[in-house]
Structure 1
Amino acid sequence: MASVTLSNIKKSYGSLGVIHGVSLSIEDGEFIALVGPSGCGKSTLLRMIAGLEEITDGDVSIGGKVVNELTPRERNIAMVFQSYALYPHMTVAENMGFNLRLSGEPKPVIAQRVAEAARMLDLTDLLDRKPAQLSGGQRQRVAMGRAIVRNPAVFLFDEPLSNLDAKLRVQMRSEIKTLHQKVKTTSIYVTHDQIEAMTLADRVVVLNQGRVEQQGTPIELYRKPANLFVAAFIGSPAMNILDGTVEADGGEPAARLGDGTAVRISTDRKVKPGQRIKIGLRPEHLNPGAGGAALAGQTLLVEPTGAQTHVVFDLAGQAVTAVVDGEYPARYGARFQASIAAEQVHVFDRESGIAL
C-alpha cells in the first residue's frame, strides 16, 4: 500500500488546457472517488496517475516517490477499466494469473495468489470457465481479481460498473466496498455517478472543467456544498435551486421568491437585506403538512417509487421536486403544500455561486 500525492498537476493538448493545477493528498489505504460530469477531466487525471498520459506540469508521487518518469509497470499500480479486457481463449484462472506469468513468477506462487483472490471474489467455482460462459458481473469480478493478484500499491478504477445493468451495479458496488475493507489498498475510483461515489468512498473529490470544486467526506458534500455546482451535482433527486431576494420577515432573514413566497433562512447565513441570492432546497427536506412557512403550487407530476413518492409541483414558476416517504395521495393538478426548516435551506450568492 502507498499514499498518493498530486502536486499542481496540469495537462494541456497544445494550447488547450484540460487539467488546471489539481493538488490532492490521498492517504495510505484511503478510498477516493473522483466524480464529475463528462469532460470534467477525471479519467485524464486517473490516466496521468497511472502513467498512461504524459503530465504537462506538476508531480505525481506514490509512496513518497515522484513517478512522473516511470512506466505504468514501474509504478506498482493496478487498473480496472470499464471494459473487462479478458482473453476469450483463457480460463478465469489463466486470465487472473496472466500478468504474474509474464513477470516470471513461479507457478505455485501464481496458483496461490489466484486461489486467494478467487475466494475473496467468490470465483472459486468458476476458475475453469472461459469469459463467454460468465455473466457481466462475473467478468468484472475476474478483471478485479486480475488486479488483486498483483498485490499493487494502488488500485485505479475507471468507471468499472458502467457496462452493467442497474441491479448488477448495486451488487458490484457492495462487492468493491467489501473488497476494499478486506485488502485496505489505496484506491482511486472514477465515476460520473454521484451515488456510486458517495456510497463507496471515504472522500469524494468533485471535478468541473479540470478543477477541484470541493473535496470532503460524502456527508460533508451533502450537508455543506461549497457552491452551486456541488449543490446541484450531489444528491438524488437533485437539489431544487430558486432565485430569491433577502429581506427581513418578522425580524428573521428570508428569501422572497418571484411569486411572493417567503422562505425563512437560518440566521447564521451571511446575507443582508436586498441581496440577490439563490436558495437550494433538497427534495427530501420538503415536508408536506409539516409546520413552518408553506411552499405551495399546482402538482405537475407524481412518481411513486414504492418506499417513496416523488411529487413535482410549480413554485414561483419553476418545477420543484419533493420526496415524500411512503405512498402519498397527490394527483396531477391538485394543490401541493410543503415546508422546510430554515436550517435546511442552502443559500448561495447569485453571481459567484459561492455558499453563504
Structure 2
Amino acid sequence: MASVELRDIRKAYGMLEVIHGVSLSIEDGEFIALVGPSGCGKSTLLRMIAGLEEISDGEVLIGDKVVNALTPRERNIAMVFQSYALYPHMTVAQNMGFNLKLSGVSKPDIDKKVNEAARMLALGDLLDRKPSQLSGGQRQRVAMGRAIVRDPAVFLFDEPLSNLDAKLRVQMRTEIKTLHQKVGTTSVYVTHDQIEAMTLADRIVVLNGGRIEQVGTPLELYRTPNNLFVAGFIGSPAMNFLDAVVDAQDGGPSARLTDGTIIQLSTARKVRRGQAVKLGIRPEHLQAGQPGDSVVRGETLVVEPTGAQTHVVFSLAGEPATAVVDGAFPARYGTPFEAAIAADQVHVFDQQSGLSL
C-alpha cells in the first residue's frame, strides 16, 4: 500500500488546458472518489495517476516517489476499467493469473494468489468457466480479481459499474466496499454517480471544469457544501434552489421569495439585509405535516411513489420544487401541498459568487 499525492497537476492538449493545477493528498489505505459531470477531468486525472496520460506540468507521487517518468507497470498500480477486457478464450483462473504469468511468477504462486482472490470475491466455483458463461457482475468480479492478485500499491477504478443494471450496481458497490475493508489498499474511484461516491468513499473530490470544487467526507459535502455547484451535485433528489432577498424579522434573519413567502434563516448565516441570495433546500428537509420555522405552500404538480417514500413536485414561488415525504402521505396531482422547514436546514448562497454564506 502507499499514499498518493498530486502537486499542481496540469494537463493541456496544445493550447487547451483541461486540468488546471489540481493538488490532492490521498492517505495510505484511503478510498477516494473523484466525481463530477462529463468532461470535468476526472478520468483524465485518473489516467495521469496510472501513467496512461502524459502530465503537462506538476508531480504525481506514489509513496514518497515521484512517478512522472515511470511506466504504468513500474508504478505498481492496478486498474479496473468500465469494460471488463477479459480474454474470451481463457478461463476465469487464466484471466486472473495472466499478468502474473507474464511477469514470470511461478505456477504454484499464481495458483495460490488466484485461489485467495477467488475466495475473497466468491468466484471459487467459477474458475474453470469462460467469460461467455458468466453474468455481467461475475465478469466485473473477475476483472477485480485480476487486479487483486497483483497486490498493487494503489487500486484505480474507472467507472467500473456503469455497464451493469441497477440491481447489480448496488450489489457490486457492496462487494467493492467489502473488498476495500478486507485488503485496505489505497483506492481512487472515478464515477459520475454521486450515490456510488457517497456509499463507497472515505472522502469525495468534486471536480468541475478541471478544478477541484470541494474535498470532504460524504456527510461534509452533503451538510456543508461550499458552493452552488457542490450543493446541486451532491444529494438525490437534487437540492431545490430558490431566488430570494434577505430580510429582517423579529427573532432573526429571513429571506423573502419572489412570491412574498418568508423563509426563516439560521442566525449563523452571514447575510445582510437586501442581499440577493439563492436558498438551497434539500427535498428531505421539506416536512409535510410536521412543525417547522417556516411554511411553504403550492400546488402539487407530480407525484412519484418509490415505496417507503414519495417524491412530490409542487409549485413554489413560480418554480417546481421537490419534497420527499412518507410513502403513505396522501399526495394527489392538482391539490394544495404544504411543508415546513427548520431554519438551520436552509442553505444560503450568494447569487453572484455562488459561495455558501
For normalisation by structure 2, the TM-score amounts to 0.99
Partner in structure 2 of residue 301 of structure 1: 302
Whether the 8 Å contact between 1:283 and 1:323 is mirrored in structure 2 is yes
Q: What residue is the counterpart of 2:19 in the other structure? A: 19
Match of 1:129 in 2: 129
Distance 1:100 1:117 in 2: 13
Aligned to 1:180: 180
Contact 1:304 1:327 in 2 (8 A): no
How far apart, in 2, do the equivalents of 1:254 and 1:299 lie? 25
Which amino acid in the other structure matches residue 332 of structure 2? R
CA shift digits 1:184-205 (9 cap, x unpaired): 0000000000000000000000
Match of 1:158 in 2: 158
What is the match of residue 83 of structure 2?
Answer: 83
Q: What SS does structure 1 have at the residue aligned with 2:294?
A: coil
Report deviation, 1:158: 0.1
3-state secondary structure, aligned to 2:315: strand
Counterparts of 2:136 and 2:129, CA distance in 1? 14
Residue 310 of structure 1 aligns with which residue?
311
1:291-325 deviations in whole A, cap 9, x for unaligned?
23210000000011101010000000000000012
The total of aligned residue pairs comes to: 356
Shift of 1:67: 0.1
> Helix, strand or coil for the counterpart of 1:195?
helix
Is the deviation greater in 249-258 or in 112-121?
249-258
Deviations 1:159-185 (A, max 9, x none): 000000000000000000000000000
1:326: how far off? 2.5
2:214 is paired with a residue whose SS is strand
Give, in whole Å, the separation in 2 of the partners of 1:128 and 1:297. 61
Q: Which residue of 1 aligns with 2:234?
A: 234
Tell me if the contact between 1:244 and 1:258 (Cα under 8 Å) persists in the aligned partners: yes
Residue equivalent to 1:120: 120
In the aligned structure 1, how far is the partner of 2:183 from the partner of 2:331? 48
Aligned equivalents of 2:38, 2:101: Cα separation in 1:
37
Checking the alignment, whether the CA contact within 8 Å between 2:34 and 2:207 is kept in structure 1 is yes
After superposition, where does 1:35-54 map in structure 2 within 5 Å?
Answer: 35-54=35-54
Following the alignment from structure 1 to structure 2, what is the Cα–Cα distance between the partners of residues 167 and 58? 40
C-alpha distance in structure 2 between counterparts of 1:249 and 1:288, whole Å: 24
Q: Which amino acid aligns with 1:184?
A: G
2:56 maps to 56
Unaligned runs of 5+ in 1: none
Is 1:341 matched up with 2:342? yes
Give the counterpart letter for 2:343 in structure 1.
A
Structure 1 residue 251 displacement after superposition: 4.2
CA contact (8 A) 1:348 1:354 kept: yes
| Structure 2 letter corresponding to 1:337 | E
**DSSP 3-state at the match of 1:260:** coil
Matched, 1:200 2:200: yes
Aligned Cα RMSD in Å? 0.5
1:115 alignment partner, SS class: helix
2: CA distance between counterparts of 1:181 and 1:167? 22
The alignment partner of 2:344 has SS state of helix
* Aligned residues of 2:297 and 2:336 also touching (Cα < 8 A): yes
Secondary structure of 1:324's aligned partner: strand
Cα deviation 1:122-146 (Å, max 9, x = unaligned): 0000000000000000000000000
Distance in 1 of aligned mates of 2:294 and 2:278: 18
| Residues 259 and 318 in structure 2, CA contact (< 8 A), matched pair in contact too | yes
SS of residue in 2 equivalent to 1:235 = coil
Provide the C-alpha distance between the structure 2 equivalents of 1:293 and 1:269, rounded to a whole number of angstroms.
Answer: 16
Correspondence for 2:213: 213
For 2:338 and 2:203, the matched residues in 1 are separated by 36
SS, match of residue 294 in structure 1? strand
User: Which residue of structure 2 lines up, in the alignment, with residue 4 of structure 1?
Assistant: 4
CA drift of 1:54 comes to 0.2
1:298 counterpart SS class: strand
2:244 paired residue number: 244
Contact 2:294–2:343 (8 Å) recurs in 1: no
2:257 match: 257
Superposition misfits of 4+ residues, deviation over 6 angstroms: none
Amino acid at match of 1:315: L
Q: Distance in 2 between matches of 1:279 and 1:182?
A: 42
Cα drift, residue 289 of structure 1: 1.9
Give the structure 1 partner of residue 223 of structure 2. Answer: 223
CA distance in 2, matches of 1:24, 1:245: 37
Once residues 159 and 182 of structure 2 are traced to their aligned partners in structure 1, the CA distance between those partners, rounded to angstroms, is 21
Q: Which residue of structure 2 aligns with residue 271 of structure 1?
A: 271
Looking at structure 2, the residues matched to 327 and 91 of structure 1 have their Cα atoms a distance apart, in angstroms, of 50
